[in-house]
Structure 1
């Protein structure tokens, strides 16, 4: 009889009768183990104790470890969800706080303008918001959101922050450009409030880096003007209404001619931070002849 050669690739199959025989043997062994627990008593129990018990303990510890890891995963998911919710809450509160700060700033601005409106109550005024400005750190020239459609015109005075900002120099239908008193080549005819002595306030953006602008042509033969005196627009200005606060004298120097004095003053307006202004719609009566034409 020729031997049976297993071909490559053929799967090994166990006949059903052999499989049934093996299962019968396994069942018999299991029955003997169960029966042996009572027959052999201690010797067999010891063997079982050495083999089965450590295995069961290992399974129990593994189950406990998996249970703990499962609980930790649940806690981590909960913490991640809470963390995400807290981040959203912080973002919402931060946005709300920013809006509140902005509202507070605008409220303070409006309060300041209201006080200014009351201080110069004799003049008709209209509020306006700054919508753009020239490059640089200072509001030397800027554009507001009101124009000829709102009744504004050239040379109307602009105030904010307690005093004089400048005047309108060009107007469109819904916008106006304001040139401030700190701009280069800007000149304002002023006077000291305490003594009534006249002087000329001149803009200088380089000086504004030190927080001051210059004044000149002060006639003070009695040496009555001192540092800290208020300077306001004078009655003889042809562009600016009288008695609008410009600033405070910080330095006084006697000129070489020994007739006049010059120096520096600190503007009352914060020209680094402006957002809202008031435009005085009343214009200074133009001098018919012989008046200044250089923006004084």
Structure 2
């Protein structure tokens, strides 16, 4: 009995395998002969395709949204970085401009030290300049301990910009050449005329901080572009320091004498490093 049952099971399995292989063979043969797939196969393929599209649609939306958020975050980070770079560049440009101006003034000071062999020079930095006395005074960071004395000439940018009027231990006050104070001690200066003659005078301020060469004899022989130097005849200022050049020669308001206007050679508007001239021989 057991053998009969085992033979039936074996026979059933063989029949099932034969049916499966027959169906597969028939499907393959039929697919080769048909131009279109079977209805059931076509329906199944359509269901799979539609299902794939339905699943892909939200996935694409979510993926695109995540990419957009990522791009926005990257753009924000790049924007913040660029803003910081712009701020740093602006600060660097301001520092570079200040250093360039200071470097130019230092070069002028070194050149001055080489040419003024009869005098010693003391470099100092400007530490204060009051807005209400902008054209009159400034304060430097050197004083009596550095050898500064009252009435010493102060230069910047290759020309005289003023003289020391007050000396403290570690600082000094400089009266600018453009001061409007009528009681200020003016520089005695000189210039060479077109025929080689030396004429003397003093520096005066006329309206709107404009410098003029006054009390000059033979002023008609002074030409535009002539240089004005300190004469060394007054105070503690040495001889031969450049004040400026003659910019124009006109008549005064009364038409009685010539008015010789001077363009300052020194950096008066924005001095940061100055050179104090210390005369070796007492004036």
Q: Same fold (TM over 0.5)?
A: yes
How many residues matched? 239
1:171-207 Cα distance to aligned partner (Å, 9 max, x none): 1110000101111223222111343111121134x43
Query: Which consecutive unaligned segments of at least 5 residues does structure 1 have?
Result: 1-40, 287-296
Which of these residues, 119, 122, 126, is aligned with residue 122 of structure 2?
126
Which 5+ residue runs of structure 2 have no aligned equivalent?
A: 1-37
When residues 251 and 75 of structure 1 are mapped into structure 2, their CA distance, relative to the original with a 3 A threshold, is closer
Distance 1:283 1:179 in 2: 22
Give the conservation status (yes or no) of the 8 Å contact 1:156–1:283: no
Give the match for residue 265 of structure 1.
262
C-alpha separation in 2, matches of 1:280 and 1:87: 47
1:179 matched to 2:178? The reply is no
Q: CA deviation at 1:81?
A: 3.1
User: Do residues 213 (structure 1) and 211 (structure 2) align?
Assistant: yes
The aligned residue for residue 188 of structure 2 is: 189
1:276 aligns with 2:273: yes
**Are the aligned partners of 1:200 and 1:217 in contact in 2 as well (CA < 8 Å)?**
yes
Give me the whole-angstrom Cα distance separating, in 1, the residues matched to 2:93 and 2:237.
41
Compute the displacement of 1:129 (Å): 0.4
- 1:217 CA drift (Å): 1.4
Q: Where is the helix percentage greater, Structure 1 or Structure 2? A: 2
Worse overlay, 143-152 or 191-200? 191-200
Please give the TM-score of this superposition, normalised by the length of structure 2: 0.72
Of the three residues 164, 167, 172, the one matched with 1:168 is 164
Partner of 1:149: 145
TM-score after normalising by structure 1:
0.69
User: Which has the higher mean CA deviation after the structures are superposed, 152-161 or 237-246?
Assistant: 237-246
Alignment match, 1:203: 205
* Aligned CA distance change for structure 1 residues 171 and 283 (closer, same or farther; 3 Å): farther
Q: Classify the secondary structure of the residue corresponding to 1:197.
A: strand
Deviation at 1:284, TM superposition (A): 6.8
Q: What CA deviation, in whole Å up to 9, does each residue of 1:48-106 have, x standing for no partner?
A: 969x9756633321222212222222333333334334444444444444433333332
Equivalent position to 2:103, from 92, 100, 107:
107
Question: Which has the larger share of strand?
Answer: 2
Q: Deviations over 1:236-292 (max 9, x none)?
A: 32342212111112232457696x543321111231121111111227745xxxxxx
When structure 1 is superposed on structure 2, of 61-70 and 124-133 the one drifting more is 61-70
- Measured in 2, the distance between the counterparts of 1:262 and 1:85 equals 59
